[in-house]
Amino acid sequence: MRKISVDKVREGMLLAKTIFSLDGNILLNAGIKMKESYINKFRELGIFEIYIDDNISSDIVIEDVISDETRFEARMAVKKAMDSMVHSNSMDVKPVRNVVGKIVEELLTVQDAVINLQDIKTLDSYTFAHSANVCVLSTITGISMGYDALKLKELALGALLHDIGKTKVPNEILNKPGQLTPEEYEVIKKHTKYGYEILKQSGDISAYTSYIALTHHEKFNGEGYPLGLKGKEIHEFSRIVSIADVYDAMTSDRVYRKKINISEAVEYLISLGNYQFDYDIVRKMIEHISIYPLGTYVSLSTGEIAIVVDTNKKYPNRPVIRLVRDANGGFYESFKEIDLTSYNNIVITDVLDDI
């Protein structure tokens, strides 16, 4: 399978991964051939990308690091918690804690987890999908840092609820499609304090977990908010979640902004190591991010175009690729695979939406 922009989808293409609605209903099953009406519905729902199968990519298997059921449960747990805060100013932590236990348990069974599959978000599910992604990435990082199960659950709980304070921010500001005014930005910034108070008052949540909501926008150089903490003054949990938060936001499409390539996002994180982020934690996190995910089209310094079929964890910039088009733009009759770790004279020059 491979991921493709909805704008590039054509009738007859085969859907490779089932698409679910926010409430868990199946919108379209894997194996269905695309119709124009389906493509229009994707646009209406704010789905910017889907996974398809074709003769180039049908043997490429891209698996999530947690099960579909657990990912959906995580989304719904965040949604219910946020809805409860809006309607009754209280929330039941138990469902969130239960799904956090499942996420930690599943990730602990995966050896050297590498994230290849990107979660397909709809416009109305972005906040909940983002929270689940930040939780998964933070937990994977915590595992690589040697956290035990108890510590992982504290981190994961705070990561999943890091934006709970946004329930106290007016929707017209929170969902504004354009640039925020300085006054609106000051209102947005208050979500950190709101979140801390919500978690602190909910009971049965540790101070360290609650602190994630308060300080996940602090920066390593002391220029973050709301406290202006610097370096190791920021709790390690918050230093982890801040990186995961920025990474997932940068690599997600929004109405007002296109996502950036994963390779660019990773370069951004590295470039701001020990300035905005803790560099040691950045290094730990990006070990588990596939810079060129499976099924990604790339252009090469030779002028050829290839699709990524496998990753090299020790050399993330040098994946195994399948050559698809020659330097003149023609398709190869048979696809040759090469491991870029054995071809130092060939480099990836760009990531392509489609060919």
Residue range 270-306, pLDDT digits in tens: 999 999 999 999 999 999 999 999 999 999 999 999 9
Q: pTM (2 decimals)?
A: 0.93
Locate CATH 3.90.105.10 in the chain.
2-53
Give the whole-angstrom CA distance, residue 94 versus residue 305.
49
Q: How many CA atoms lie within 13 A of 235 on its CB side?
A: 17
Give the whole-angstrom CA distance, residue 49 versus residue 62.
15
Contact (CB, 8 A) for 348 and 300:
yes
What pLDDT shows up at residue 44? 86
Locate CATH 1.10.3210.10 in the chain.
68-286
Give the whole-angstrom CA distance, residue 191 versus residue 202.
16
**CATH class of the domain defined by 68-286:** mainly alpha
Contact (CB, 8 A) for 291 and 262:
yes
What pLDDT shows up at residue 255? 67
What pLDDT shows up at residue 123? 67
Instruction: Write out residues in the chain with pLDDT < 50, as ranges.
Output: none
Give CATH superfamily name and number for 2-53.
Molybdopterin biosynthesis moea protein, domain 2 (3.90.105.10)
